[in-house]
Amino acid sequence: MTIKVLIADDEIPARSRLRHMVGAIADSEVVGEAANGREVLQLCTELSPDIVLLDIRMPDMDGIEAARHLDVMKKGPAVIFTTAYDHYAIDAFDAHAIGYLLKPVRQERLERAIDHAKQFGKLQIDALTHGLDRRSTRSNICVRRASGLQLIPVDEILYFQADQKYVTVRHLHGEDLIDEPLKDLLEEFSDAFIRIHRNALIARAYLDHMDKDSDGQYNIWLKHGDAPLAVSRRHITTVKDCLKRIP
């Protein structure tokens, strides 16, 4: 079976060199090239590569954030990071040295890394991203629309609300559905969002006020929101504390 490889690097000579090196590896072929993380996400959707050779330092969206988006994609590719700076590898991983290659990439090391990724497939990207430095969070949420993948800036999101297997992302320009677990979103974005209910996270930046209806139900209102969200009793104190901190 031929392994499909996507190359991501903002430098054309680096991509050309990797294309030549991959071409020399049996049962492997380059199916596309990307110059930044946004292109990586789009091409992964269009081409379904088995492996992404992913540069860490790229403009617009770097390799670390792109890997986070790939991690939540179903049937995402395995990732092999490439970088000219070994301190990025230290910052990005726990102990998954096989998950990155230092530039200039050597043919024998590339072959070993691709062979490793061939064996583990989706498990490879799980191992890599579990080692990512969790101090770094995504600046966008990737959603799938009929027109293709779209990136929603996290600072434009009002709330996440779970409904069975999907989560609604309500943002300044409308809403979209994603299938990321709410608990994972809270873990990643705990500095920017708080839980108000078992099925909802709201952005601290858009908190406006909280009131109580005739039935004793507390509701939170958000700036730019068109309707309130219910606050469960166990989270009322947390919401009140956040409201007190609003200038």
- 99 and 182 inside one domain: no
Q: What is the pLDDT of residue 47?
A: 95
CATH at residue 60: 3.40.50.2300
Boundary-marking domain end, from 63, 95, 130 = 130
Q: Do 69 and 27 belong together in one domain?
A: yes
Residue 229 confidence (pLDDT): 97
pLDDT score at 59:
92
Tell me, what CATH number does 201's domain have?
Answer: 2.40.50.1020
In order along its 247 residues, the chain shows pLDDT tens digits of 899 999 999 999 999 999 999 999 999 999 999 999 999 999 999 999 999 999 988 998 988 888 888 877 777 788 888 888 766 554 444 323 347 788 899 999 999 988 887 776 544 445 544 444 444 678 999 998 887 788 999 999 999 999 988 999 999 999 999 999 999 999 999 999 999 999 999 999 999 999 999 999 999 999 999 999 999 999 999 999 999 988 7
Domain that holds residue 232: 141-244
- pTM comes to 0.74
Q: How many CB atoms lie under 10 A from the CB of residue 120?
A: 13
Is residue 136 assigned to a domain? no
What pLDDT was estimated at residue 146? 82
Residue 224 has a pLDDT of 95
| Number of domains, the chain | 2
